[in-house]
């Protein structure tokens, strides 16, 4: 079962619409759809919301640290609520997928992603789940850092919001512990 859903991004208004904040956008859409609210939780170094339903409690966390310190928030909340790494799903931007492609993955390395690198270091394992949000690659000659910190285009942002809304249909499977079935359905659609 997934008990903690983390969206990665950078805090601050200037990063709100950037590609690197695809994980924050994911949780913002989920919170809006479920009519929930985030509250700042300093002991968890982030903003927290909760979904309570028949499947149990699902914590939604947006770290208030910068991307390269995301593990501080994830490990603080996981330790406090005794959540195992395999019960964590992290939504993050992914350069190796085209814009708007969503893929689920179980475990793996950081692939150069500083947020994932810090979570792996903080949890001490790679065994958490991931929702990889495609942001595509920069055009030739553009630095990766400039690209990930650039804003999504309006149509790209709208497309991703629609994909997120569709993805939320798989959340009961994921939350209920049937990650493989959710992955099969997502990847076959």
Residues 154/158/160/163 CA torsion (nearest 10 deg)? -170
- Model confidence at 53: pLDDT above 90: no
Length of the chain: 189
The rounded distance, in Å, linking the Cα atoms of 25 and 29 is 6
The CATH number of residue 24's host domain is 3.40.50.1470
pLDDT average, residue stretch 112-120: 94
pLDDT in the model for residue 54: 82
- Model confidence at 55: pLDDT above 90: no
Q: What is the pLDDT of residues 148-163, one digit of tens each?
A: 999 999 999 999 999 9
**Active-site residue set:** 20
Global pTM value:
0.95
User: Which residues constitute the domain of residue 55?
Assistant: 4-188
- Model confidence at 56: pLDDT above 90: no
Count of domains in the chain?
Answer: 1
Average pLDDT, the chain: 94
């Amino acid at each position: 079962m997934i008990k903690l859903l983390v969206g990665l991004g950078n805090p601050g208004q200037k990063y709100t619409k950037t590609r690197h904040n695809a994980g924050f956008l994911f949780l913002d859409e989920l919170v809006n759809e479920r009519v929930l609210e985030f509250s700042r939780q300093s002991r968890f170094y982030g903003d927290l919301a909760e979904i309570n339903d028949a499947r149990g409690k699902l914590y939604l966390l947006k770290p208030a640290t910068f991307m390269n310190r995301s593990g501080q928030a994830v490990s603080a909340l996981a330790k406090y609520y005794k959540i195992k790494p395999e019960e964590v799903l992290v939504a993050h931007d992914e350069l190796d997928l085209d814009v708007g492609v969503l893929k689920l993955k179980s475990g793996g390395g950081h692939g150069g992603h500083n947020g994932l690198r810090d979570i792996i270091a903080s949890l001490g394992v790679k065994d958490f789940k991931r929702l990889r949000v495609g942001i595509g690659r920069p055009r030739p000659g553009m630095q990766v850092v400039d690209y990930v910190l650039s804003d999504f285009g309006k149509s790209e942002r709208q497309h991703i919001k629609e994909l997120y809304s569709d993805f939320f249909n798989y959340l009961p499977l994921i939350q209920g512990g049937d990650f493989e079935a959710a992955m099969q359905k997502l990847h076959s659609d």
